[in-house]
Amino acid sequence: MARKRYTAEEIIGHLRTVEIDLGKGSAVPEACRKLGFTEQTYYRWKKEYGGLRVDQAKRLKGLEQENARLKRLVADLSLDNSILKEGQRETSKPGPTPRRGPACPGHDLGVRTPGLPRGGILSSHATVCTHPNG
């Protein structure tokens, strides 16, 4: 059996009709059956639309649709952002760094050597190196 979709206005009208029937002394299942929907549907509708007027129900539906659209938009943007971050992470992976060491493997450049005044830094490796290759 195919389900019938009711608009917010129809639902609120049915809820009011059931409330009137209940006031006259009929039971909920009987009132619902007369209008063509189940008792479970009545309670679900009452929970969602219980104290709403027609204009409030329309506004509620519009806000729910906008909220769903915005959630999809946020999900899409989050996915795009994570893809961009992943791509950036792959392109900025550090490769082998060039070796920046002393010209002579036995010595360090820019090291304070004894005998020079305080703060004296060797600027020329060749002037002090006694290494056979230096």
The pTM score is 0.47
Cβ-in-10-Å burial (0-12, 13-18, 19+) of 45 comes to buried
pLDDT at residue 51, as a whole number: 83
Q: Where are the domains of the chain?
A: 1-52
pLDDT at residue 63, as a whole number: 94
- pLDDT tens by residue, 63-77: 999 999 999 999 999
> Which band of pLDDT confidence, cut at 50, 70 and 90, is reported for residue 80?
very high
Residue 125 has pLDDT above 70, yes or no: no
pLDDT at residue 23, as a whole number: 93
Residues 6+ apart with CB under 8 A from 133: 104
In Å, the largest CA–CA distance within the chain is: 114
